[in-house]
Structure 1
């Protein structure tokens, strides 16, 4: 791994989706930034164009209703934000459905947590910037501990004044906050007035109940009347916080040392 701390890149924000420039085996592309993607994902046609070969066949589960066929391919070179990852294992699959349904255009790549695992990143969604930070920098804001749940990092979040639960820190979530069905039942949310909206990523579309939370508290900031979708997957975390709320902060991530700093925007 090689990191150039002097290099900063523009962060492209479309709605509540984040995109960064990236290179795969030397080929340039625009990639979705997703802190909750356990591996970097490549579209099968783009992977073939960049010389990515075949690998082990697996079934991939995302936030959708089902599973998707994929191949795990080793030894792929990925570069983004001056971070060079020379030996990445990527998942190769057909991203046509995800690209059309969630982004409205062709999707070549989703850069996952390998980039976050490489070191600190300073992310300002509203300011449209993202850059690596040296390990000795002193981030501003509230420091929150990260804890891993099913391969994803989580932060403490309080919902409607209850004791904090672990919420996935998900910069790939450009939709509503998610509440796991089991935790929603404990909060009494399943009996609350709701709408139905389509969601889901890899694995296909899924209809979810959407309720309104009276309050959500993150890093000392309270958000009122927050829409949240009920995630009925059996392995769902208690909650999942995405870009709609996280864009209200300036963010520093430090996955190697299990911490994130959130500085409220004024």
Structure 2
């Protein structure tokens, strides 16, 4: 049985993987798929792929494109979530910040450099006409718990993270959300280490087929909203709203999307050059 290590954030987007593992669907296909939770998000997964700790990852589109261009030998093999990620822009509930403009020149909490929270801070700054050199400052906080500590103690001023996963913290009165920023592209893709992909294409295809069977029928699973609410400690109405806004994909990323992400990252000086589609993507 082939052992394959995969990483992802411990969030509701990835419940389809858990269900397939729970039902032993991968083992039935003679694959020992081992899931690893990455609380630190995309930056931590990029490191995991580079170090060989994982063979594949469910990872933010903009983050993995940046890291592949920076030397991470991976290929995108599929879009996992077609819809945008809605980033909530959060401050400490007791802070004096009321608007996004109030955050100009303050310090953003980020999980690590190269993470989604880091890259989207640039997108937010550009959208608001800030000076990317002078008006952006960063404090590395590793994960959501670190963000709570950082904003509460004042070592950072704002934090961008998926709005539904942070909503319980907002509801408790720890964070206050002062804005939202949807990604202008599909939010999650599946990426595989290139050396691993070359030798294991058939197994990767099988894994994709299994998870795609789950995601294509995900919203029809009986009481899926209650399952998500219980597992991820969410309010049922928030889960129902999230489900209404979220669409999974069973297709690979388009040339147009790759071009759009690279155009944005290049304009922000996050990547030094733009690559050809086939250097970033593998169609299985």
TM-score bracket, normalised by the shorter chain, equals under 0.3
Question: Quick check: which one's strand share is greater?
Answer: 1
Q: Which has the higher contact order (CA 8 A, sep 6+)?
A: 2
| TM-score between the two structures when normalised by the length of structure 2 | 0.25
Question: Quick check: which one's helix share is greater?
Answer: 2
| TM-score between the two structures when normalised by the length of structure 1 | 0.26
